[in-house]
Amino acid sequence: MLFSPVHPMHIPDGFLSTMVSLVMWVLSVPVVALALRRVGRDLSERQVPLMGVMAAALFAGQMLNFTVTGGTSGHLLGAAIATILLGPWAAMVVLTTVVSVQALVFQDGGLLALGANLFNMAVIGVSVSYFLFSSVRRLAGGRSWGLFVGGALAAWSSIVISALAAALELALSGTSPANIAIPAMGGIHMLIGLGEAGITLGVLAFLQTARRDLLQTDATRASGNRAIWAGGLVLATLLAVLSPLASRHPDGLIWVARQQGFLSAAKSPTFKIFSGYLIPGISNRTLATILAALVGVILIAAVALLADWMRTRRQRK
């Protein structure tokens, strides 16, 4: 059978206490607002299409869970890839868009827990990636190994540190003791991080060969916006079509929740649109998953086009 259910990937409501969830919102909102302000001020012709296709590709790519070990799976985060190609502020906006669409449209991750999911992935994941990648590149002194070593280390660390942050939030919420949640989440995500590092290395190797200009630090020098749009959307569409081939095993967080006995704390979403990454009313679950993935890709691409239109309008004024 082709169909494999797309398991939830992010923290649902019920895993975190109301107080911890509110604190995470308070921490996330100012950082995301600052990122939006910086991107709005510094947005370039190159970044608009690249941000759009990056967000669409990450959304579709995250639906392709890969098997790790012991009956669990991991999924692409993409914080390192986005940070390397776009810089930290734009990468935060991209991850915020992806995680927000997943929560609001596909009910992956709770609405109250959305602040924590944004903080763990868009803020911590990107910040860790930027610090480690830029540090290794400086250490490499412009040599090519810095790109790949820095990219792999940033990708692996972004997964592990984000998972440890989630474990700490679980502990502070009283959901799972710190001496259990932290080793469990850290251990399994160290393995998942290897998959993230491998994917990141593959992307960097391809771009180093095919589009080296996208790896330049000067965000205004890349060209070929139409080619970026076309290539990126084709990739996102391909990943969406392949989404039913995702691993059947639960994501690392859900696996830990099952192992530690707090999975039942998860609350059902207050509303459902395309819950479970399925289009309602379609009996063929493979087709329902593919169509849901394509809807997500289109929504995110539309957000990018809207941002481009708003930027163009501001420039004309």
Task: Please provide the DSSP assignment of 197-250 as one string.
Answer: HHHHHHHHHHHHHH-GGGG-S-TTS---HHHHHHHHHHHHHHHHHHGGGS-SSP
The pLDDT of residue 227 is 72
| DSSP symbol at 121 | I
The pTM of this model reads 0.91
pLDDT at 245: 81
Q: Please give the pLDDT value at position 1.
A: 38
User: Residues 277, 106: contact at Cβ < 8 Å?
Assistant: yes
Is 223 a residue whose pLDDT tops 60? Answer: no
Tally of CB atoms within 10 A around 259:
16
Report helix angle 178-210 to 79-86, nearest 10.
Answer: 40
Higher pLDDT, 133 or 247: 133
pLDDT in tens, 57-107: 999 999 888 888 777 888 889 999 999 999 999 999 999 999 999 999 999
The pLDDT assigned to 175 comes to 96
Burial of 33: CB neighbours in 10 Å, binned 0-12, 13-18, 19+: exposed
The number of C-alpha atoms within 13 Å of 20 and in the hemisphere containing its C-beta is 20
How many CA atoms lie within 13 Å of 209's alpha carbon, on the beta-carbon side? 5
Average pLDDT, the chain: 87
Domains defined along the chain, listed by start = 18-316 (1.10.1760.20)
pLDDT of residue 144: 85
Q: Identify the residue with better confidence: 310 or 149.
A: 149
How confident is the model over 274-285, as a mean pLDDT?
88
At how many degrees (to 10) do helices 79-86 and 88-106 cross?
140
Task: Of 151, 170, 277, give the one whose Cα is nearest residue 215.
Answer: 151
Run of H or E residues at 66: strand 66-67
Q: Which of 41, 157, 38, 140 is nearest to 91 (CA)?
A: 38
Residue 21 near residue 112, CB atoms below 8 Å: yes
pLDDT on residue 221: 45
Question: In terms of Cα–Cα distance, which of 58, 52, 206 is closest to 122?
Answer: 58
How long is the chain?
A: 317
Residue 307 has pLDDT above 60, yes or no: yes
What single-letter DSSP state applies at residue 251? Answer: B
Q: How many Å is the maximal CA-CA distance in the chain?
A: 58
Question: What are the CA-CA distances from residue 66 to residues 4, 76, 122, 136, 250 (Å)?
Answer: 12, 9, 21, 28, 10
Answer for the pair 4, 247: CB distance below 8 angstroms, yes or no: yes
Helix (H, G, I), strand (E, B) or coil at 276: coil
Unique residue bearing structure tokens 């970026």: 228
